[in-house]
Amino acid sequence: GAGVSQSPRYKVAKRGQDVALRCDPISGHVSLFWYQQALGQGPEFLTYFQNEAQLDKSGLPSDRFFAERPEGSVSTLKIQRTQQEDSAVYLCASSVGGSSAYEQYFGPGTRLTVT
Amino acid sequence: AQSVSQHNHHVILSEAASLELGCNYSYGGTVNLFWYVQYPGQHLQLLLKYFSGDPLVKGIKGFEAEFIKSKFSFNLRKPSVQWSDTAEYFCAVNAGQAGTALIFGKGTTLSVSS
């Protein structure tokens, strides 16, 4: 079956532009996570959805970051007025259940470069 | 706050050498522990996980890890590495509560020469 997919795979934005990153989780997966991975670092948590409800957004670095999952499947991470420090790989992961004991399946990521 | 430390940033081994990658975490409660691997050009994949029970867990491709609660450690081992094990390895932890995110270490790059 299909895994987690993300688009675009690469995005170059000029400082100040808005960007939207898309995640298609594995069909039927309840939980969806967004992570940010800077160069040479491990992924860092941004936000978590259970179905359409955003249950944790404590990792979003500023109010320029916004995520949604309106129908409980596809999710979009939006970054407004991008800054150079937003350059990173943005990873999406999904898991079948709501418990932390379920494996998270990761997508290939979107590499965002802000110039 | 939870944190994960991976002791080695870059490990270089020859084929057939034994591997041990260190991982320590800081969290006093019940945790779930994971090792993920990222092969060149590929996405993160789960190698193995520990939730409860036998502290020695076996994963894919001959990897195993041992949970030592008293040391807050979850070291990854493989008795004999192959060139195809060249990858970046991440240790991760989450608390035993619903919906909590993974906390990752910074990763260890393993280079295996043939």
**Which of 37-66 (A) contact B at CB < 8 A?**
40-45, 48, 50, 55-56, 59
For A36, counting Cβ atoms within 10 Å of its Cβ (0-12 exposed, 13-18 middle, 19+ buried), the class is buried
The pLDDT tens digits of the residues spanning A11-55 come to: 999 999 999 999 999 999 999 999 999 998 999 999 999 999 999
* Whole-number percent of chain A with pLDDT over 90: 90
pLDDT in tens, B5-25: 998 899 999 999 999 999 999
Cβ neighbours of A91 in B, within 8 Å? 43-44
Least confident of A27-31, A60-64, A101-105, B82-86: A101-105
Q: Given 3-state DSSP classes, what are the helix, strand and coil percentages for chain B, each rounded to the nearest 5? A: 10, 55, 40
Q: How confident is residue B93, by pLDDT bands cut at 50, 70 and 90?
A: very high
pLDDT at A6: 98
A18–B contact, CB cutoff 8 A: no
Residues 32-91 of B with CB under 8 A from A: 32, 34, 36, 42-46, 49, 51, 90
Confidence of residue B31 (pLDDT cuts 50, 70, 90): confident
- Under 8 Å between Cβ of A28 and A93: no
pLDDT tier, B1 (very low <50, low <70, confident <90, very high otherwise): confident
Q: In the predicted model, is pLDDT for residue A1 greater than 60?
A: no
DSSP B12-66: EEETT--EEE-EEEE-SS-EEEEEEEE-TTS--EEEEEE-SS-SEEE-GGG-EEE
Q: What is the pLDDT of residue A97?
A: 80
Average pLDDT over residues A90-103: 85
CB pairs under 8 A between A and B: 67
pLDDT, residue A98, reads 73
B98 pLDDT tier (thresholds 50, 70, 90)? low
Q: Say how far apart CA B13 and CA B6 lie, in whole Å.
A: 17
CA dist A34 and A46 (Å) reads 5
Judged by CB atoms closer than 8 Å, whether chains meet at A56 and B101 is answered as yes
Distance CA A58, CA B88 (A): 27
Give pLDDT, residue B78.
98
Confidence band (pLDDT; 50, 70, 90) for A69?
Answer: very high
Residue A102, pLDDT > 90, answer: no
Lowest mean pLDDT among A63-67, B29-33, B74-78: B29-33
Q: For A42, what's the count of Cα atoms within 13 Å in the CB-facing half-sphere?
A: 22
